[in-house]
Amino acid sequence: MVGARQRKARPLGLSPKAGARKRTPEPRAGKDAPVGLAVRRTAAAMLRQVIEHGTALDALLDERNGNPHFRALDRRDRAFVRAILGAALRRRGEIEAALKNALDRPLPENSGALSAILHVAAAQILFLEVPAHAAVDLAVEQAGSDRRTGRARGLVNAVLRNLVRNREEILARSSRDAGRNMPAWLFTRLSDAYGEPTALKIAAAHLATPGLDLSVKSDAGLWAERLGGTALPAGTVRLAGTHRVTELEGYDEGAWWVQDAAAALPARLLGNVQGRTVADLCAAPGGKTAQLAAAGASVTAVDLSESRVRRLGENFRRLALEARLVAANLLFWQPDEEFDAVFLDAPCTATGTIRRHPDIQWLKTPEDVATLAALQTKMLDRAAALVKPGGRLVFATCSLQPEEAEAHVAPFLTRHPEFVLEPIETAEVAGLSDLVTPAGTLRTLPFQSFGDGPNLAGMDGFFAARFTRRAG
């Protein structure tokens, strides 16, 4: 029974409280270190930064400002670190269960890097195409080279060889229950919202590494052919596998931008924006801003972070698109006039993007859901005040939590009788009827598909509702 799967937070020595008291030591590798050891050390250190210190994985992987040891690796080794961390975070529940079964007792909370060393090695043994002896030997070497884990060399060797011997049995057992790879609170919330069978399908979708989705300015079919991808509805091209974005054809000329196919749907709900004034609120990273500008809107893009606004500006220069960029707190921003349309992509726990960002489920808490839902209410009220009579307001979030999405609709209409809910038509979301709810809102789930065939399954989880302000 899934409901009985209540686990203690951060078992196997990964205590967030203990981690918060001291900085994770940076990996060190001597000039005579075995080949591949620097990669494993870097992966273990970065895993600790995510789990113990709550650092977003994207920040660590940033090739300009991320983890310095990661940036010092060559391209192939950086790709391997990404693969290790992806497996370790997507399959964390399975790895914890396998390690727990191989241990006589839980690791102590002061075990330092030991838990991360085991998780990194287990991810390779169970889920990556890595020779088992290399994963085991390098983990033992790593443990032995650190005075805090040196005495655990024998334990590391024994536990990991246990995983090697029992790999097929472990994988057969874990394949029956993807839900264990989510924190218990999150799986329970999703089961309550969608039913346990749907929650399990969501959990299973999070285990697959997604391809790369690109929104193109025009002619998705042409760019799908040129890039070797698949044209999806709503002007998206999907590429299988992983890619260096800056090296793809069309990047330098600004023919496209990175944006999940589901994320490209909500902006379409504003309809024809040619020549209209549109406020894109909480605009960064700018995918929806680019959609609106490319469609001919006069866009004002607002975001709280000055650095994100600068990055948005850099992207717009590459794309040769125009928008007015504003770094401001939406709750206090006072524009000179109201807008024909307002798009609010509100801050949220982003649980709908776990398939692309597997660290999110380990960074967020139930308290975050409540805090962000309260902030969304304030932002939605502020956004409503910016809409002209007769104009449209689209509220969107990339959260799977109803408190951050569907639950806002009825209270908003009660607080703002000048607005009405304008139901979404199937044709507006590329004919994908499964994405339109009976209430006339948009809801996408990670396991849903854009059609039958390879490379069409999977999308981020999004919610969107469209309101119209009564004329007069």
Instruction: Note down pLDDT in tens along the chain; length 472 residues.
Output: 333 333 333 333 333 333 333 444 545 545 556 779 999 999 999 999 999 999 999 999 998 889 999 999 999 999 999 999 999 999 999 999 999 999 988 887 777 699 999 999 999 999 998 999 999 999 999 999 888 888 899 999 999 999 999 999 999 887 678 899 999 999 999 999 999 999 999 999 999 999 999 999 999 999 999 999 999 987 899 999 888 899 999 999 999 999 999 999 999 999 999 999 999 999 999 999 999 999 999 999 999 999 999 999 999 999 999 999 999 999 999 999 999 999 999 999 999 999 999 999 999 999 999 999 999 999 999 999 999 999 999 999 999 999 999 999 999 999 999 999 999 999 999 899 999 999 999 999 999 999 887 789 999 999 999 999 999 7
Asked if residue 267 and residue 172 are part of one domain, the reply reads no
Q: Alpha-carbon distance 294 to 129, whole Å?
A: 42
Predicted pLDDT at 207 = 94
Q: Nearest 5 degrees, angle CA 410-CA 415-CA 418? A: 95
Predicted pLDDT at 452 = 83
Catalytic, 398? Answer: yes
Number of domains in the chain: 2
Where does 254-323 show beta strands of DSSP type E? 256-258, 277-281, 298-303
In a domain, 268, yes or no: yes
In a domain, 233, yes or no: no
* C-alpha 19: how far from chain center: 23
Contact, 295 vs 217, CB < 8 A? no
Q: Which of 127, 59, 138 is nearest to 357 (CA)?
A: 59
Asked if residue 411 and residue 295 are part of one domain, the reply reads yes
Asked if residue 300 and residue 158 are part of one domain, the reply reads no
Q: Which of 153, 181, 209 is the last residue of a domain?
A: 181
- CATH code at 365? 3.40.50.150
Contact, 123 vs 107, CB < 8 A? no
Contact, 301 vs 275, CB < 8 A? no
Asked if residue 410 and residue 278 are part of one domain, the reply reads yes
Q: Which of 138, 160, 181 is the last residue of a domain?
A: 181
In a domain, 192, yes or no: no
Domain interval for residue 321: 261-469
Asked if residue 46 and residue 147 are part of one domain, the reply reads yes
Q: Which of 188, 197, 10, 3 is nearest to 96 (CA)?
A: 10
Asked if residue 265 and residue 173 are part of one domain, the reply reads no
In a domain, 188, yes or no: no
Predicted pLDDT at 108 = 74
- CATH code at 86? 1.10.940.10
In the structure encoding, which two tokens stand for residue 246, read together? 């800056």
**DSSP, residue by residue, 359-397:** THHHH--HHHHHHHHHHHHHHHHHHHTTEEEEEEEEEEE
Q: Which of 181, 200, 215 is the last residue of a domain?
A: 181
Asked if residue 364 and residue 273 are part of one domain, the reply reads yes
Predicted pLDDT at 175 = 66
Where does 5-105 show beta strands of DSSP type E? none
Asked if residue 315 and residue 171 are part of one domain, the reply reads no
In a domain, 231, yes or no: no
Task: Give the active site residue among 214, 261, 330, 398.
Answer: 398
Asked if residue 131 and residue 10 are part of one domain, the reply reads yes
In a domain, 414, yes or no: yes
In a domain, 91, yes or no: yes
In a domain, 38, yes or no: yes
3-state secondary structure (DSSP) of residue 322: coil
Asked if residue 280 and residue 147 are part of one domain, the reply reads no
Q: Alpha-carbon distance 466 to 392, whole Å?
A: 7
Q: Phi and psi dihedrals of 217, rounded to 5? A: -65, -40
Predicted pLDDT at 472 = 73
Measure CA of the first residue to CA of the last residue in the chain; give whole Å: 55
